[in-house]
Copies of this chain bind each other. A is one copy, B any other.
C-alpha cells in the first residue's frame, strides 16, 4: 500500500474509549469518527454529489455486489471508475459483496474456493472468489476496499460461525495476495458473531496480515443492540490502535454514539436515506413521521436547530404534503436532512472527544431521546 494512506490518531477521550483521528486517502482526508452515506448503485439515493459536500460528507460507500451485477465493474472502469463516474472526488469505500451475497441471494454452493450465487436481478449464476472480489473492486477504483468475507446470520450455530471465521481468514490472505493496485487500502473484516472466543480467533487470523484497517463485520445482523455493544466492548480492544476501525452497516444514531464510545472510527448505514424515503426524519429528540396528520398546517421547520437546506427552507406542512402526494421532492429533502443530522452527530462526537467529554455527550444524547417520547 502506498504512503498515500496514513491514519493519525489525534486524541483519545479520557472518559471513554472514544478517539478522534485523521485518515489520509488518495482522495483527501477523512476526519474520524466519520459516517459514510451509502451509495449502493453509485448514487446516494436522491442526493446530488454537490449536496453531500455541502452537508459535510467526506467519504461515501458503494456496493460491490450491486455494481458488479449492473452496470458491471468493467463498465464502471470504462466510465473512469467510481470517482469520475459519480462525479465524487472525495474518498470512496466499497464493500466486498459478502454481506449482500449472504442476505440477498440464493446460495447455490459455497466452499473454501468460491461462492456460487443466483443474482437477485435475473437469476443468473455468478461465481465470486476472494480474487474475483479484488479484481472487481480494483475496477471500481474506490480508495478503501474490503476483503471478501462470509457473513452468517445471527441465529446460526456457534460451529457455523466458527467455520465462517476460518473461511474469512483464509479468504483475507488470498485477497491480500490478489491485490495489484497500490492506491487502494484493503481492509480485513473480523467475523465471529457475538462470541468472544470466536472474535479472538478472527483477530488472531487477521492481525498478522497487517491490513491498513480493520472492519468489524457480522454485527447488525439481527442481534439486540445490547449484544452488539457488549461484542464491541471485547472486540474493539483486539484491534490495533494505529489503524482505522470500521463497524460495517451500523446504524441508528444512538448505535453510532455507543460504538464511538467503544473506540470505533468509521460507520456506514442506509438508514438516513432509506428512512427518508419512508417519510421518517431523524432528530435529536427521536424520529418524526412526516405523514402524521398533525403536521398538516405546521409552518415550522422539521428541526429549527438544523442548518441543512431542508430545515432552513421548508416547513413540516410542506414536507407532509410532498409525501402524501407521492412527490420525489419529499424523499430528496428528507434525505438531505437525515444525512445532515448524521453529520452533525459525528461532528459533535469528534468535538466531545477532543474536549474529553464523550461520556457526558452520550448521557445528554440518551436523555434527549428518552425525554421526547413519541415525537411522531
In the docked arrangement, what's the CA distance between A84 and B314, Å?
Answer: 8
> Cβ of A75 and Cβ of B325 under 8 Å apart?
no
Binary flags per residue of A42-54, CB closer than 8 Å to B gives 1, else 0? 1101111110000
Q: A329 — which chain B residues lie within 8 A by C-beta?
A: 43, 45-48
* CB-contact partner of A332 in B86, B320, B327, B332, under 8 A: B332
In the docked arrangement, what's the CA distance between A318 and B45, Å?
Answer: 14
State which residues 221-260 of A face B: CB under 8 Å: none
* CB-contact partner of A75 in B50, B297, B322, under 8 A: B297
> Is A85 interfacial (CB 8 A cutoff)?
yes
Q: A46 — which chain B residues lie within 8 A by C-beta?
A: 328-329, 332
> Is A315 interfacial (CB 8 A cutoff)?
yes
Q: A71 — which chain B residues lie within 8 A by C-beta?
A: 296, 317, 320-321, 324-325
Q: A42 — which chain B residues lie within 8 A by C-beta?
A: 318, 321
User: Which of A49, A297, A309 is the most central at the interface, judged by chain B CB atoms within 10 Å of its CB?
Assistant: A297
Q: List 25 A-B contacts (CB under 8 A).
A: A41-B321, A41-B322, A41-B325, A41-B327, A42-B321, A43-B327, A45-B329, A46-B332, A48-B332, A49-B313, A66-B325, A70-B324, A75-B296, A75-B317, A78-B297, A78-B299, A79-B299, A80-B299, A85-B315, A86-B318, A87-B313, A87-B314, A87-B318, A328-B328, A328-B332
A46-B329, A47-B329, A71-B324 known; 16 new pairs, CB 8 Å cut-off, are A41-B327, A42-B321, A43-B322, A46-B328, A46-B332, A48-B309, A66-B325, A70-B321, A71-B325, A75-B317, A79-B299, A84-B299, A85-B317, A86-B318, A87-B314, A328-B328
